[in-house]
Amino acid sequence: MTTDGHLELPGYAHVYSGKVRDLYAPLGADGAPRADRLLLVASDRMSAYDFVLDTPIPDKGAVLTQMSLWWFEQMADLVPHHVVSTEVPAAVAGRAVLVERLAMLPVECVARAYLTGGGLNEYRASGAVSGVELPAGLVDGSPLPEPIFTPSTKAPMGEHDEPIPFGGVVDEIGQALAERARDLTVRILQRGNEIATERGIILADTKVEFGLRGLTLGEGEDERAAIRDRGADCEIVLADEVLTPDSSRFWPAESWEPGRQQPSYDKQYVRDWLTSSASGWDKSSGEAPPSLPEDVVAQTRAKYVEAYERLTGQTFRS
């Protein structure tokens, strides 16, 4: 373990650490990092309110990785995914995958089937979400007339993503690629709900990441400009994670009741504790949140495992 928290993995060079994931490049025969592959490692770190908490959730990384692998297969006829191999170093077995290195779209692709969270706040203020006008009278947990694409900016770590209209996505990546990303995001949400509903779970919304396969950059060429100018000629690939409790809101169908916050299989349990009087933390203070107590850690881990087992029908093994 290094001083900044990531592992030292023989045969790999550390590339980047985000809030909850670490990226490594495998070393080639010449000892240099390969430009076509990445090792994507899901940690047990937990983020909330734009902070990385100092208390990990045991097995969280393994749950997210194994759930994503299961969902990638369920989506294989809709869109290809970036996973090359699950043969990874023993130190990160079960929570890492070897993936293609792609040119990642510089926007967050979000789709909503129900109104809640940040979308609800937008709706209350303007009657719309990311520029999409919605009917009057909707409440927290209301189903939408049809799933909608509600993209946002992709903010640097420590900053907050901001909702943007579809036109903002067009400005970033061009009309044709924006339409493909929008349509795929909505179809992934719809497919996810078809499967989840059979298991008594509602998929309220989700965020997905897409990359481009086959985008070659000229010497000194800016990747964002290349995506905007030539991305429509490339194959779009589903990347990062998909339909996990970190990227999606899952609700037990049996307890769904519009007009209130829904019980969920995600980190809402952590958010609720942080904003309760029990934590003693003032969200507006700018100070880092406190450590999580053991019971909150245990309950959160149980929610992640329950989501995996209920959706996949498989027993989670760490």
pLDDT of residue 3: 37
* Phi, psi dihedral angles at 147 (to 5 degrees): -60, 140
Contact partners, residue 200, CB within 8 Å, separation at least 6: 252, 253, 254, 310
pLDDT, mean of each 10-residue run, the chain (318 residues): 68 94 96 96 93 95 97 97 97 97 96 96 96 97 98 76 93 97 98 97 97 92 95 97 95 96 88 93 93 95 95 92
pLDDT of residue 317: 87
- The single-letter code of the amino acid at 150 is T
Report how far residue 62's alpha carbon sits from residue 53's, in angstroms, rounded to the nearest whole number.
18
Report how far residue 267's alpha carbon sits from residue 291's, in angstroms, rounded to the nearest whole number.
15
Tokens describing residue 57: 């959730």
Dihedral angle of Cα 136, 140, 144, 147, to the nearest 10 degrees: 130
Residue 194, judged by CB atoms within 10 A of its CB (0-12, 13-18, 19+), counts as exposed
pLDDT of residue 227: 97
Residue with tokens 């959706």: 311
Residue with tokens 């970036």: 82
The pLDDT tens digits of the residues spanning 16-66 come to: 998 899 999 999 999 999 999 999 999 999 999 889 999 999 999 999 999
Read off the pTM: 0.93
Report how far residue 34's alpha carbon sits from residue 115's, in angstroms, rounded to the nearest whole number.
43
